[in-house]
Chain A
């Protein structure tokens, strides 16, 4: 394949980025892990060994339990919501709709906005005020006489986090749509025609032909949306400020580290976040690497 000389050359060319990655990514990950095993609290570093104490404390910390619960609810609502909405938008556009380009842009547009902006807009839309100060969605429902839909949205303790996930779905389902649309377009027409000739209904075609072919698309959507939801921070800060009912690990990490100066605890939360993302990403990487080899 390559001549020896080219091998050296290519290695040397990537060397600077390898070094940078080693230092700025892996080096700092290592440093964070070291901090998470220390007793550092307060402004000045203290690397005295604490073993796994910070982690053990986290798992009996009621706030961290709220965080885990919220992350699970948020992830499920957000990922499932994006995939379902995105898939149906893609199927609709794939039917050869007039003005497809316009709708495609329309649906993709929210993705261009930052989560902070989305949060500010949706905080207003989901304003829970009643009476004369009512606004946003609640006011709309009130005009439409759909009073049973009026609620406190993101300010309810248990399911408030799901309301935040709705805003996130609004932002990211256009992206999922784009993924699925590309997938749908890559399916050869012959496959559908063959299925039709075999007498399959539209539903059966989707169920047995199209969805299986789209599995890799679903998988990559799952991974990308999944790691976004584990790291969510700005959207919640913008929508809910720092009310604990909507706390997630990233916010706890920020507050405990920089407001409370619990550096070791903050590093432990950060490490757990990294592990949870890795649990999601590594099987995916393994899967894609293996399928690339098979090609």
Chain B
């Protein structure tokens, strides 16, 4: 064998070793990447999908509070863009499976948390933190059970949003002599009148905003108690009253703009303040968007509970969790302390356009709409949102989403209802 051969052999073996070490090392090297020269310095990696608008600005405001309180901990903002977290959650699921969790991440309080991450043993209970920080006294009693399982509390809610808000254009309603509807029948009558007058009655956007509309109509038709029953298994998805609710949804869709499939929620909400449509059903983050557009409350837009759901507050809440196997649990707890503090929430919420999860925030910091939301949150019956992760786990929600999508394209109501029954059997509490 020539010298040349042996040189080549060595070179090839070294290359092979390099390739193999690259594969083998992947799992162990990944976390190291997120911990650059830190040398004794602490850091906390927080994962969210707040990358734009008021959300990102709110997070920045809360990070500022954090940096002032814990100057020795470096904050790593691992936000992933994408509406309502659809992309971020995929990235998160992949990271969790490869054993590389961020210290803390944003998750909707409720079943998205309990049915997904608690069921997967991915997050730690926080009862000690709740006791040492006195949060049990300031967090609302209606909220704690939704973030708990078997007496263990699993997350720190930072805000409350309302889902069942009907936004309307006051001028259009006035011009057509229509009072703000409070029942579904009044609503349909108003929309018939608007349709006859040549106004688009209802602004609607892409698929998930249709699920949002569906859940508010389920609530408006069934009432709070039976609506809750859908999610704990006591209301039959196959019943006649659910069928009535689905028929109402089908009817509501006939009032919507024809180009809904190509509009984002912002596009749809904008139709109302621009005077192109009379109503829009969207969560109260729409209000933040209207302000961004420079619109005035009660002049350019008005609000009311979705017809049929007066006196009910359908909520969702963003919350932060502590990962099992967090690279730096102490720093993560420091972050959670800020997220749950009065100071942190008062910095975050007025900017993000939501109300505090805590009940002791200063009302004067908030605008006209949010003050009314705070009053309702304190006095109304509280139920959870489907689209935003409170009442159903991810699998169940995804099956409902598929059934809804098929219904929107084929209009087959019987098939829709039986698909909903099956979804509850396969991924929900129904047996």
Partner-B contacts on A (CB < 8 A): 5, 8-9, 12-13, 15-16, 19-20, 23-24, 41-45, 62-63, 66, 123, 127-130, 132-133, 152, 154-155, 157, 240-245, 247, 254-256, 258-262
Residue of B nearest to A259 (CB): B398
Q: In the complex, which residues of chain B have a beta carbon less than 8 angstroms from the beta carbon of A66?
A: 406, 409
Q: Which of A41, A244, A256 contacts B207 (CB 8 A)?
A: A244
Which chain B residues numbered 91 to 120 have a C-beta less than 8 Å away from chain A? Answer: 93-94, 96-97, 116-117, 119-120
Q: Separation in Å of the B198 CB from the closest CB of chain A?
A: 10
A258 close to B97 (CB less than 8 A): no
Cβ-closest 4 pairs across A and B: A244-B405, A260-B398, A43-B120, A258-B90
Q: Which of A8, A155, A260 contacts B5 (CB 8 A)?
A: A8
Residue B394 interfacial (CB < 8 Å): yes
Q: Which of B20, B119, B260, B395 contacts A19 (CB 8 A)?
A: B20
Give the size of the chain B interface in residues (CB under 8 angstroms): 48
Partner-A contacts on B (CB < 8 A): 1-2, 5, 8-9, 12, 15-16, 19-20, 23, 86, 89-90, 93-94, 96-97, 116-117, 119-122, 206-208, 257-262, 276, 394-395, 397-399, 401-402, 405-406, 408-410, 415, 419
* Complex alpha-carbon distance, A242 and B415, angstroms: 20
A244 close to B408 (CB less than 8 A): yes
A16 close to B19 (CB less than 8 A): yes
Q: Which of B16, B89, B258 contacts A130 (CB 8 A)?
A: B258
A128 close to B259 (CB less than 8 A): yes
Residue of B nearest to A153 (CB): B262
B395 close to A63 (CB less than 8 A): no
A245 close to B261 (CB less than 8 A): yes
Q: In the complex, which residues of chain B have a beta carbon less than 8 angstroms from the beta carbon of A245?
A: 261, 405, 408-409
A19 close to B8 (CB less than 8 A): no
Q: In the complex, which residues of chain B have a beta carbon less than 8 angstroms from the beta carbon of A16?
A: 12, 15-16, 19
Q: In the complex, which residues of chain A have a beta carbon less than 8 angstroms from the beta carbon of B19?
A: 16, 19-20
Q: In the complex, which residues of chain B have a beta carbon less than 8 angstroms from the beta carbon of A154?
A: 261-262
Report whether over half of chain A's contact residues are helix, strand or loop; otherwise say mixed: helix
Asked if A19 meets B16 with Cβ closer than 8 Å, knowing A128-B262, A129-B259, the reply is: yes
A259 close to B408 (CB less than 8 A): no
A41 close to B395 (CB less than 8 A): yes
Q: In the complex, which residues of chain B have a beta carbon less than 8 angstroms from the beta carbon of A129?
A: 257-259, 262
Residue of B nearest to A127 (CB): B262
21 A-B pairs with CB atoms under 8 Å apart are: A13-B8, A16-B19, A43-B116, A43-B119, A62-B406, A63-B402, A127-B259, A129-B257, A133-B276, A152-B258, A154-B262, A155-B262, A157-B410, A243-B206, A243-B405, A243-B408, A244-B207, A245-B261, A255-B398, A255-B401, A259-B401
* Complex alpha-carbon distance, A44 and B118, angstroms: 11
* Complex alpha-carbon distance, A66 and B97, angstroms: 31
Q: In the complex, which residues of chain B have a beta carbon less than 8 angstroms from the beta carbon of A128?
A: 258-259, 261-262
* Complex alpha-carbon distance, A261 and B199, angstroms: 42
Q: Separation in Å of the A70 CB from the closest CB of chain B?
A: 11
Q: Separation in Å of the A25 CB from the closest CB of chain B?
A: 13
* Complex alpha-carbon distance, A231 and B16, angstroms: 32
Q: In the complex, which residues of chain B have a beta carbon less than 8 angstroms from the beta carbon of A262?
A: 395, 398
Q: In the complex, which residues of chain A have a beta carbon less than 8 angstroms from the beta carbon of B20?
A: 19
A244 close to B402 (CB less than 8 A): yes
* Complex alpha-carbon distance, A154 and B16, angstroms: 49
B206 close to A241 (CB less than 8 A): yes
Known: A23-B23, A62-B415, A255-B398. 17 other contacts (CB 8 A): A8-B5, A12-B8, A13-B12, A16-B16, A16-B19, A19-B16, A128-B262, A130-B258, A132-B276, A155-B259, A155-B262, A241-B261, A243-B207, A258-B89, A258-B94, A259-B90, A259-B394
Asked if A5 meets B2 with Cβ closer than 8 Å, knowing A43-B117, A258-B89, A259-B89, the reply is: yes
B405 close to A247 (CB less than 8 A): yes
Q: Separation in Å of the B254 CB from the closest CB of chain A?
A: 15
Asked if A43 meets B9 with Cβ closer than 8 Å, knowing A128-B259, A152-B259, A262-B398, the reply is: no
Q: In the complex, which residues of chain B have a beta carbon less than 8 angstroms from the beta carbon of A259?
A: 86, 89-90, 394, 397-398, 401
Q: In the complex, which residues of chain A have a beta carbon less than 8 angstroms from the beta carbon of B261?
A: 128, 154-155, 240-241, 243, 245
Q: Which of B94, B119, B399 contacts A42 (CB 8 A)?
A: B119
Q: In the complex, which residues of chain B have a beta carbon less than 8 angstroms from the beta carbon of A152?
A: 258-259
Q: Which of A12, A23, A43, A256 contacts B93 (CB 8 A)?
A: A43
A260 close to B409 (CB less than 8 A): no
A244 close to B409 (CB less than 8 A): yes
Asked if A5 meets B5 with Cβ closer than 8 Å, knowing A44-B120, A241-B207, A244-B406, the reply is: yes
Q: Separation in Å of the B268 CB from the closest CB of chain A?
A: 12
Q: In the complex, which residues of chain B have a beta carbon less than 8 angstroms from the beta carbon of A20?
A: 19
Highest count of chain A CB atoms <10 Å: which of B93, B94, B117, B402: B402
Q: Separation in Å of the A154 CB from the closest CB of chain B?
A: 8
* Complex alpha-carbon distance, A259 and B119, angstroms: 16
* Complex alpha-carbon distance, A245 and B210, angstroms: 14
Q: In the complex, which residues of chain A have a beta carbon less than 8 angstroms from the beta carbon of B398?
A: 255-256, 259-262
Residue of B nearest to A23 (CB): B23
Q: In the complex, which residues of chain B have a beta carbon less than 8 angstroms from the beta carbon of A241?
A: 206-207, 261-262
Q: In the complex, which residues of chain B have a beta carbon less than 8 angstroms from the beta carbon of A240?
A: 261-262
B399 close to A260 (CB less than 8 A): yes
Q: Separation in Å of the B422 CB from the closest CB of chain A?
A: 11
* Complex alpha-carbon distance, A24 and B262, angstroms: 38
A123 close to B262 (CB less than 8 A): yes
A42 close to B207 (CB less than 8 A): no
A242 close to B206 (CB less than 8 A): yes
Residue of A nearest to B119 (CB): A42
Q: In the complex, which residues of chain B have a beta carbon less than 8 angstroms from the beta carbon of A255?
A: 398, 401
A42 close to B116 (CB less than 8 A): yes
Residue of B nearest to A27 (CB): B23
Q: In the complex, which residues of chain A have a beta carbon less than 8 angstroms from the beta carbon of B394?
A: 259-261
B395 close to A43 (CB less than 8 A): no
Highest count of chain B CB atoms <10 Å: which of A20, A44, A133, A259: A259
Q: Which of B1, B12, B116 contacts A12 (CB 8 A)?
A: B12
* Complex alpha-carbon distance, A13 and B406, angstroms: 53
A258 close to B93 (CB less than 8 A): yes
Asked if A15 meets B12 with Cβ closer than 8 Å, knowing A43-B93, A243-B408, A255-B398, the reply is: yes
Highest count of chain A CB atoms <10 Å: which of B121, B258, B405: B405
* Complex alpha-carbon distance, A262 and B120, angstroms: 13
Q: In the complex, which residues of chain A have a beta carbon less than 8 angstroms from the beta carbon of B16?
A: 15-16, 19
Q: In the complex, which residues of chain A have a beta carbon less than 8 angstroms from the beta carbon of B408?
A: 243-245
* Complex alpha-carbon distance, A155 and B256, angstroms: 14
* Complex alpha-carbon distance, A262 and B86, angstroms: 15
Q: Separation in Å of the B267 CB from the closest CB of chain A?
A: 10
